[in-house]
Structure 1
Amino acid sequence: MQPRAVDAAGVAHEMAGTGARIVSLVPSITELLFALGLDRQIVGRTGFCVHPRDKVRQVPKVGGTKAIKLDAIRALRPTHLIVNIDENERETVEQLRAFVPHIVVTHPQTPQDNLALYALLGAIFDRAQEARRLAEALEGRLREAAAHEFAAQNVLYLIWREPWMTVARDTYIAAMLRLVNWHTLPDVQGGAAGAARYPSFDFDHAPWLDAVDRILLSSEPYRFTEAHCIALKRDPRLAGKRIELIDGEMVSWYGVRAIEGIGYLQRQAAAA
């Protein structure tokens, strides 16, 4: 009997056969599935699953990460559905359980969690060797980051405006930033009672703002532009702070993108 792999929901999955039909509702997981060589078994993806660009075009869309078209997924007859605790709504996932035999739940919260993610999908879809290669590459990047002494910076990582929104310290994004000694403000944990993982705030009522060294405007989910940077640089409340754009995919996408993302952050920190 084949060993079973346990997902983030505690569900054990047996190895899928070569006839597995996979729908991914997570953009970074879709990219990872292709990196594992599962091209022929990926039958559905969201409209936000845009990498690798030359391959995802051939895969039918089933809506967004939250606005999911149940009938479109049903028509694809998937054997496996890949979801994420943060990105997909539980109610929708429960509806999908009615006709999808295997739902694999993911929830990486740190860059190191990608090692278990590679192993999980590698075990389920018989790509253990490919998963090990990715793990070795990621471990190399993690060692590089750990060996370098980066100057400590307090950062405000913006993901939305109207209202302004940022990230709590127990998010994957904050954990990625800590690899280069960047620490997010405000100092809140999304898992705390009443706290949000992606809190909103007002620049006029942010007592922690004085301690911020650098403001990072992410390219997603809100697409900040240079015009937003220029506007914030004119704001007297932010005088003296470094304000710049940052590639949100490199920071927030787990899976195979984390390997490149760690290198990207090291270069950003070195250029400070």
Structure 2
Amino acid sequence: MQPRAVDAAGVAHETAGADARIVSLVPSVTETLFALGLDKQIVGRTGFCVHPHDKVREIRKVGGTKAVKLDAIRALRPTHLIVNIDENERDTVEQLRAFVPHIVVTHPQTPQDNLALYALLGAIFDHTQEAESLNERLEARLREAMERAHTLAAQNVLYLIWREPWMTVARDTYIAAMLRLVNWHTLPDTRGGVAGAARYPMLDFDDAPWLAQVDRILLSSEPYRFTPTHRDALARDPRLAGKRIELIDGEMASWYGVRAIDGVAYLLRRASSA
């Protein structure tokens, strides 16, 4: 059978048979595999793969996105392993190549890239109709965002993903691209490249001249789980006086795949209520 789909690493994959055994090391992709109707072929997932709740609990855990249990994966005898450039360690993936026949690399960098992700997974696992359905739903959301963007006030936002040290996102990350759909523009205006720490830079509130331009500070629910206590503490910080500080559902802003469909709608609601 001829290769039909090319992943983010440039590898062409043939269509898998119904006996494919899939391990996903990417939480958002795990959720998407279920949305594509591949329930019976998913045999392994990380502890961070928590959606859909009622289905993932039946799937064996193989560690985390970075602390992967190689022996647990080996025991599952997967035919396909799905990884992500940002979320999984290259060295770990290389070790897995020794016994997993097919490794599918993903790397969506914009909301629009999800269309190619649906098509890729649909083609590899022979669920093209389900992929086309997701495609249509996301395209409708993206059209809505485009039509409404000019009605939304432009905002400069600081999107925080960690504390001690404080960490944010570069402008060429998926999160920043999602926020741009609703006319929210991340600061600082930095770009981190294809992968690596520069995509998620550390910052010091005492050494951030661009901070004066920030209208809104968004505290993500992941990977660090910011709470109302953190929000209230920052609101008392004199360096942030006059800034709107609020919590945001990190899954809606950072999870690609099927979650992007609801994510775009969520961000539109948030921006419209500003």
Over 3 Å off, 4+ runs = 192-195
Alignment-mate amino acid for residue 63 of structure 1: G
Give 1:192 shift. Answer: 8.9
Number of residues of Structure 1 aligned to a counterpart in Structure 2: 272
Give 1:185's aligned residue: 187
Give 1:4's aligned residue: 4
Give 1:84 shift. Answer: 0.2
Give 1:4 shift. Answer: 1.6
Tell me if the contact between 1:22 and 1:81 (Cα under 8 Å) persists in the aligned partners.
yes
Give 2:35's aligned residue: 35
Give 1:98 shift. Answer: 0.2
Give 1:61 shift. Answer: 0.1
Q: 1:3 to 1:74 in 2, by over 3 A?
A: closer
CA distance in structure 2 between the partners assigned to 1:194 and 1:105 by the alignment: 16
Is there any run of 5+ residues in structure 2 with no aligned partner, and where?
none
Give 2:164's aligned residue: 162
Give 1:210's aligned residue: 212
* Residue 47 (str. 1) matches residue 47 (str. 2): yes
SS at match of 2:60: coil
SS at match of 1:81: strand
Which range moves more in the overlay, 155-164 or 195-204? 195-204
CA distance in structure 2 between the partners assigned to 1:261 and 1:54 by the alignment: 20
Q: Deviations over 1:112-164 (max 9, x none)?
A: 00000000000000000000000000000000000012110000000000000
CA distance in structure 2 between the partners assigned to 1:121 and 1:195 by the alignment: 28
Q: 1:192 to 1:35 in 2, by over 3 A?
A: closer
Give 1:265's aligned residue: 267
Give 1:141's aligned residue: 141
1:77-96 to structure 2, matched below 5 A, reads 77-96=77-96
CA distance in structure 1 between the partners assigned to 2:39 and 2:86 by the alignment: 25
Tell me if the contact between 1:30 and 1:51 (Cα under 8 Å) persists in the aligned partners.
yes
Which range moves more in the overlay, 187-196 or 53-62? 187-196
CA distance in structure 1 between the partners assigned to 2:83 and 2:4 by the alignment: 18
CA distance in structure 1 between the partners assigned to 2:6 and 2:220 by the alignment: 33
Q: Deviations over 1:191-211 (max 9, x none)?
A: 299980000010000000000
Tell me if the contact between 2:86 and 2:196 (Cα under 8 Å) persists in the aligned partners.
no
Tell me if the contact between 1:114 and 1:255 (Cα under 8 Å) persists in the aligned partners.
yes
SS at match of 1:177: helix
Counting aligned pairs with the same residue, the percent is 83
Alignment-mate amino acid for residue 175 of structure 2: I
Alignment-mate amino acid for residue 118 of structure 2: Y
Alignment-mate amino acid for residue 203 of structure 2: F
1:63-102 to structure 2, matched below 5 A, reads 63-102=63-102
Tell me if the contact between 1:217 and 1:246 (Cα under 8 Å) persists in the aligned partners.
yes
Alignment-mate amino acid for residue 215 of structure 2: D
Which range moves more in the overlay, 172-181 or 183-192? 183-192
CA RMSD of aligned residues (A): 1.3
Give 1:50 shift. Answer: 0.1
CA distance in structure 1 between the partners assigned to 2:12 and 2:121 by the alignment: 12
Alignment-mate amino acid for residue 240 of structure 1: G
Give 2:118's aligned residue: 118
TM-score by length of 2: 0.98
Give 1:3 shift. Answer: 4.6
CA distance in structure 2 between the partners assigned to 1:231 and 1:207 by the alignment: 21
Q: 1:193 to 1:45 in 2, by over 3 A?
A: closer
CA distance in structure 2 between the partners assigned to 1:78 and 1:211 by the alignment: 49
Is there any run of 5+ residues in structure 1 with no aligned partner, and where?
none
